[in-house]
Chain A
Amino acid sequence: MSLELKQVTKIVDGETYIYPTNLHLEAGTFNILLGTTLSGKTTLMQLMAGLDKPSSGEIWFDGANVTNMAVQKRNVSMVYQQFINYPNMSVFDNIASPLRVAKMQHGEIEKRVGDIAEILQISQMLDRRPSELSGGQQQRVAMARALVKDSQLILFDEPLANLDFKLREELRDELPRIFSERNSVVVYATTEPSEALLFGGKTAAMYEGTVAQFGDTGEVYRQPRNLKSAQVFSEPPLNTAVVHKSENVFKINDDVSWPVAKAYEHISDGEYTVGIRPHHVYPHRMNDEHIAIEGVVQVAELSGSESMIHFTTLGNSWVSLSHGVHAFAAQEKTTLYADVANCFYFDTDNKLITA
């Protein structure tokens, strides 16, 4: 079972919402669409569901061309950010509704609803109304309704975004368990890189209507093919700076330079962009090989266990994320230490230089 997008685009009133996109999504894993708001995730999902028609290109599902098929014909379920439930029906009726539309037998409906409610831990609430439930419970009801239909394509559009922080964590743990064991293609849109990483599966890093990279989540994270993909997968944002390579030295300015590692010796001299993730920039020296960079602290955000320090340095805003509590005053001058053994280099076309 697979969902395939072939050269799919979406142009509305002259504005391109989706650039030509090719994607091949398989059943059995979480396929994640990761990107900021307005990167095209929702538009792409609606094209996949059949709620919208692509301006050009084709959509194939399970070997059949479904581009022109109306959404009611397609076997698809969708879970939204806002908990969408029928307000005047009980939880049981809510979950049973797609089965009733399919004219299933009453006994069969009861069994299926009971099973699904058990999996989503809402068996106690079957006779209540959605308005009587908490946010997390309402979203579970919406998910139950999507699950019970046993659709071949299940789409999640940032379903946890309206939930409390802790609740999000809990559901994040449960979701892969519940949905991976099915023979359906699951597509999940989110803006949070940590969510994508925790789910695993495959990720499409999206940026302004294009898929910057698609592949196994860990791989997209550790080997971003281009600058955009690296930035999409960084929270806090990726630290970047322009660096020049000449002979065997990478140089940002007279004070900041480091020797080129063996792996990169083969690349030509010239201008590159170096990208370092915030957790590889430290406020204190951790290792002799780290490079010292002078900066001015804008603000130090200290949680109980970590420090997120915002600096201005090298003409850019950089962020350092480290364990422990490191307090700094605003406008304080200090030195950061960058782990250049753990960074990315991008050429002038923003493509990753491979070692």
Chain B
Amino acid sequence: MNKTVNQKAWFLVLPVLALVAFNAIIPLMTVVNYSVQETFGDNTFFWAGVLWFEEILRSERFHASLGRQLFFTFSILAIEIPLGVIIALAMPRKGIWVSVCLVLMAMPLLIPWNVVGAMWNIFALPDIGLLGKMLNGMGIDYNFTRQPVAAWATLIAMDVWHWTSLVVLLAYAGLVSIPDAYYQAAKIDGASSWAIFRYIQLPKMKRVLTIAILLRFMDSFNIYTEPFVLTGGGPGNSTTLLSIDLVKLALGQFDLGPAAAMSLIYFLVILLLSWVFYTLMMRNEEQ
């Protein structure tokens, strides 16, 4: 069914369009402008064309932070999606405990991101933090401010703690929409729990899982606040993800040209990978 076309609707949308134009499109155009020009900040511009783009794409530094970013994103996806599904499967579907569980799951999502970073920072401190002290007490040599491996582990643990709930809630919504008749029929057919998961629950959750994966992918690729507060990108460069690197470049060094070019490349990378993910998922579903 199609809605009736109502031309007056455009008037209602205009203010929003104006705001978006002002806050997003114009700055974006500015960035594009900067990316193809060279400037020394004194308002004189020289056309640079693709110079900055080439420089960024060839720079080792960019490759390194892109590599770290990809590693981070795929690690958390590999952990959060299955873990989220498992927790959603374990959650009760009927009764009073449902609301309790949902609230518990929602809580990590409500905390401001810089607070999350600060929390984990203190939590993991090797001398006074609960986690840090406990690990060191157990004999593990753990110091995330000095050891890259510890820093990565803490970073990933923090993200899993923060965002798995999103996957849980989405997967749970998908699970709850499965009519009882399916479970009853499976019981009668003598299906094992694994068969029920594989043939009933997973297919029905496909749609919501696609959304969950896409969301987590884009968010994690964009991530800035939490890792910045947690490790600042350190020790050294070891946890400098793309966004952190970009900010260093733009604000730290004031290389506006390269920074602008890098932003655009960053944006295009996310766009491309999202599109790839999306098409793969959609094609899978159509089959």
Contact = CB atoms under 8 A, between A and B. Distances in A.
A227 B271 CA distance: 57
Contacts of B2: 52-53
B43 interface: no
Interface string A71-111: 10000000000000000000000000000000000000000
Interface residues of A, number: 7
B1 A53 contact: no
Contact of A51 (B4, B5, B6): B4
Interface in B1-29: 1-2, 4-6
Interface in A286-334: none
A355 interface: no
A71 B1 CA distance: 13
Contacts of B4: 50-53, 70-71
Contacts of B6: 70
Interface in A22-56: 46, 50-53
A220 B42 CA distance: 87
Interface string A53-70: 100000000000000001
Contacts of A70: 4, 6
Contacts, number: 13
A200 to B, nearest CB: 30
A19 to B, nearest CB: 19
A53 B3 CA distance: 9
Nearest to B6: A70
Contacts of B1: 46, 51-52
Contacts of A71: 4
B1 to A, nearest CB: 6
Interface in B121-163: none
Residue from B2, B4, B5, B6 with most neighbouring chain A CB atoms (10 Å): B4
A41 to B, nearest CB: 14
A50 B2 CA distance: 11
A50 B1 CA distance: 11
A345 to B, nearest CB: 41
Contacts of B5: 53
Nearest to A42: B1
Nearest to B2: A52
A51 B1 CA distance: 8
B281 to A, nearest CB: 24
A71 B6 CA distance: 11
A46 B4 CA distance: 11
Contacts of A51: 1, 4
Interface in A108-156: none
B179 to A, nearest CB: 16
Contacts of A46: 1
A50 B4 CA distance: 8
B82 to A, nearest CB: 37
Nearest to A51: B1
Nearest to B4: A70
A271 B5 CA distance: 51
A65 to B, nearest CB: 16
A13 to B, nearest CB: 11
A69 to B, nearest CB: 9
A46 B1 CA distance: 8
B287 to A, nearest CB: 22
Contacts of A50: 4
Given A46-B1, A51-B1, A53-B2, 10 more contacts: A50-B4, A51-B4, A52-B1, A52-B2, A52-B4, A53-B4, A53-B5, A70-B4, A70-B6, A71-B4
13 contacts: A46-B1, A50-B4, A51-B1, A51-B4, A52-B1, A52-B2, A52-B4, A53-B2, A53-B4, A53-B5, A70-B4, A70-B6, A71-B4
The 7 closest A-B pairs by CB, nearest first: A70-B4, A52-B2, A52-B1, A46-B1, A71-B4, A51-B1, A53-B4
